[in-house]
Amino acid sequence: MPKDREQFIQDCINECKYGILKTAGEVRKIYYCGFQAYHSAFVNFRIYDPIEVEFYEEYAKIIDKEDNESKQIIEAYDYLKNCLIIQKVGQFPSLADMQLYDVEKYRKVLGKDSFRDLTRAIGLYADGIGCGAFVYLRRILERLVGEIDDEVGLDTEEYKKARFDDKIAMLEKTGKTIIPDSLKAVKSKIYGILSKGVHESGDDECMEMFPYMQFCIEQILDERIRQKNLEEKIKKLNSKVNG
């Protein structure tokens, strides 16, 4: 390609890039829910030059251009110098806020502390802090089991020395439902995974597992809501029929 034509093309590219950066360095886009059109979120993006370009530009001036590694650097520069990066920098409502709307229904079956722990877990997950999120999910499960323990009052030596999963099994033998049948296949692993996340796993592993563990906790809470609603309906039935 003739030099003047190559320079003309590069000038056009640069003019286009700088025009975008000057007029649209920041972009806001609204996204609508596919299920409920009135559910939406504003997402902010930032557009900028790849930070590597400046390094490659300076490096390309001093390197041996016949060296294979140097050729790769020059190729990277030739590619990146014509690129722009678009990066998400925020949204409203935040991911945490959107999830908090979904868990509001659990407030009526969770105490103040447990509901606060649930919102903290979701907030930490939204911020990428997986291990911290697991701490609060485990607290919720422990507190839920502790409440059943207080109701049943298993004060035996065997119960006190039992592993957490075994305590759940012993409490459920009294007729209480802690972990619903929908989680039967993973029932014995939930607490172990949460504990591993607290003591051993890194943030990446916890981030990957968090949605599944949150689902488990929510299934347990959904069962509590079902039981609570059933008790209220039976109470109303007895009051209506028996006077």
d(CA 192, CA 163): 11
What is the reported pLDDT for 14? 73
- 84 and 107 housed in the same domain: no
d(CA 84, CA 148): 57
Q: What's the average model confidence in pLDDT over 115-125? A: 92
What is the reported pLDDT for 170? 92
Question: Peptide bond before 211: cis, by omega within 30 degrees of 0?
Answer: no
Q: At what angle do helices 203-242 and 130-152 cross, to 10 degrees?
A: 30
Residue whose C-alpha is closest to residue 102's, from 118, 125, 124 = 118
Overall residue count recorded for the chain in this entry: 243
- pLDDT interval class at 83 (50, 70, 90): confident
- 132 and 220 housed in the same domain: yes
- 61 and 145 housed in the same domain: no
Mean pLDDT estimate for the chain: 83
pLDDT tens digits, residue range 185-233?
Answer: 999 999 999 999 999 999 999 999 999 999 999 999 999 999 999 989 9
- 121 and 224 housed in the same domain: yes
Among residues 76, 92, 108, which one ends one of the domains? Answer: 92
Contact assessment for residue 56 and residue 76, using Cβ atoms and an 8 Å cutoff: yes
pLDDT tens digits, residue range 9-25?
Answer: 777 777 777 777 777 76
**How many structural domains does the chain have?**
2
Question: pLDDT at residue 1 above 60?
Answer: no
What is the reported pLDDT for 120? 92
Q: What angle do CA 117, 185, 215 make, to 5 degrees?
A: 30
Among residues 47, 65, 92, which one ends one of the domains? Answer: 92
Question: pLDDT at residue 49 above 80?
Answer: no
Contact assessment for residue 53 and residue 80, using Cβ atoms and an 8 Å cutoff: yes
- 21 and 140 housed in the same domain: no
- 18 and 134 housed in the same domain: no
Structural domain harbouring 230? 95-242
Helix H or strand E encompassing 31: strand 26-32
- By CB atoms closer than 10 A (0-12, 13-18, 19+), residue 213 is buried
- 136 and 198 housed in the same domain: yes
The pTM of the full predicted model, rounded to 2 decimals, is: 0.65
What is the reported pLDDT for 75? 75
Among residues 68, 92, 116, which one ends one of the domains? Answer: 92
Q: What's the average model confidence in pLDDT over 91-101? A: 71
- 84 and 46 housed in the same domain: yes
Sequence-distant (6+) residues with CB within 8 A of 87 are: 45, 46, 47, 48
- 52 and 112 housed in the same domain: no
pLDDT tens digits, residue range 132-191?
Answer: 999 999 999 999 999 999 988 887 889 889 999 999 999 999 988 899 999 999 999 999
- By CB atoms closer than 10 A (0-12, 13-18, 19+), residue 183 is middle
Question: pLDDT at residue 34 above 80?
Answer: no
- 73 and 41 housed in the same domain: yes
Tokens of 36: 């409920």
**CA dihedral sign of residues 92, 209, 196, 213:** positive
- Regarding predicted confidence, which is higher, 237 or 62? 237
What is the reported pLDDT for 38? 65
- 133 and 221 housed in the same domain: yes
Q: What's the average model confidence in pLDDT over 80-98? A: 75
Percentage above 90 pLDDT, the chain: 42
- 127 and 77 housed in the same domain: no
